[in-house]
Amino acid sequence: MTDVETASRGFSSDLTALVRCGKGPFFVKAMLNRPGGRRDSLVREALVNPTVKPVAPALLWHAENEGWVALGFEVVEGRSADFEPGSPDLPAVVDTLNWINALDPPEIARDWPETRWDRFARDKAEADLFRGEGLLHTDINPSNLIVGQDRMWAVDWAWPTRGAAFIDVACLVLQLIAAGHTAQGAESWAAHCQAWRNADPAAIDAFATATFGMYRSRASRFPDASWLDDMATAARAWVLHRGVAPRPPSPAHASCDGCSADADAHDLGLGAADR
């Protein structure tokens, strides 16, 4: 007998479900088998899983036919992390990001350079500050950090990339501000992460301004998505705290076809928990 329960997690998939069967249970993510970014994200998630199993549920099987691509993961019990000020989850969140930062990127990640923020940087020199050898989750938000009875999991590795190690921590800073922290308070949590302490402050400044530009652009394109306005507001508070005024990218850099294609492929899913 098989029981299928639609899941509340997995915003970027066509189907997410908890499947209970003789060989299960499994948490299943599935996509229509069509060429493009969303299918590619599922392929990446399967490829990166052997590396991220210390912090993520294990991939137990994958299947593909002409219509669908599906991944079956071990089921983990827990709730979404609480990012609000005073939350008892925050030390574990920091520990989890430090754990991710300590993972060695798999060889395949050399083909996954992080470029999604490039078109919002002022110029190529600033975009180059986002380069690095760190394995990045890039969608750090409360729904993707699951609090279990005695540990935390980082789930939904839908678009892992290779880049500057501080980027995941910077994504946490933005999420903490959106959850009610002051920018200073959010950065004080980031300071518990080695990748943040090792980062060039100029790189963080460039990333903060690029992030604000990204969310401001997306919010203007999708006015009905209130969560984008919320993230743009949080990003604005962050750049004001850092004393860096938002700056438009140079025309040549803003029109970079590769950067645009990469961003559209991932649909800029940062903060997808708010959708």
Strand partners, 15: 30
Average confidence score pLDDT of the chain: 87
Lowest mean pLDDT segment, chosen from 34-38, 129-133, 229-233, 247-251 = 247-251
Residue 66 has a pLDDT of: 86
CA neighbours within 13 Å on the CB side: how many for 275?
Answer: 15
Place of tokens 């990748």: 195
Residue 105 has a pLDDT of: 93
Q: Which residue has the higher pLDDT, 66 or 200?
A: 200
Residue 271 has a pLDDT of: 42
Which are the contacts of 81, defined by CB distance < 8 A and separation ≥ 6? Answer: 87, 89, 92, 93, 142, 145, 146, 147, 152
| Share above pLDDT 70 across residues of the chain, in percent, rounded to a whole number | 84
Place of tokens 């994200």: 41
Whether residue 256 has pLDDT greater than 80: no
Mean pLDDT of 133-148: 96
What is residue 207's three-state secondary structure? helix
Q: Distance between alpha carbon 73 and the CA centroid of its chain, in Å?
A: 19
Strand partners, 162: 113, 135
Residue 39 has a pLDDT of: 84
Cα gap 2→102, rounded to integer Å: 39
Tokens of 60: 């137990």
Whether residue 258 has pLDDT greater than 80: no
Task: Return the exposure string of 33-71: e unless at least 16 CB atoms fall within 10 Å of the residue's CB, then b.
Answer: eeeeebbbbbebbbbbbebbeebbbebeebebeeebbbb
Residue 246 has a pLDDT of: 64
Specify whether the CB–CB gap between 250 and 122 falls below 8 A.
yes
Residue 266 has a pLDDT of: 46
Which are the contacts of 101, defined by CB distance < 8 A and separation ≥ 6? Answer: 134, 165, 168, 169, 193, 194, 195
Pairing of strands 145-147, 152-154: antiparallel
Q: Which residue has the higher pLDDT, 10 or 243?
A: 243
Mean pLDDT of 48-77: 93
Whether residue 9 has pLDDT greater than 50: yes
Whether residue 161 has pLDDT greater than 50: yes
- Model confidence over 172-219: pLDDT tens digits? 999 999 999 999 999 999 999 999 999 999 999 999 999 999 999 999
Residue 7 has a pLDDT of: 64
> If pLDDT is split at 50, 70 and 90, which confidence band does 37 have?
low
Torsion sign (Cα): 101, 78, 53, 106: negative
Quick one: which of 202, 100, 80 has its CA closest to 144?
Answer: 80
Whether residue 42 has pLDDT greater than 50: yes
Residue 230 has a pLDDT of: 96
Mean pLDDT of 117-133: 96
Residue 152's identity, in one-letter code, is M
Diameter of the chain measured on Cα atoms? 60
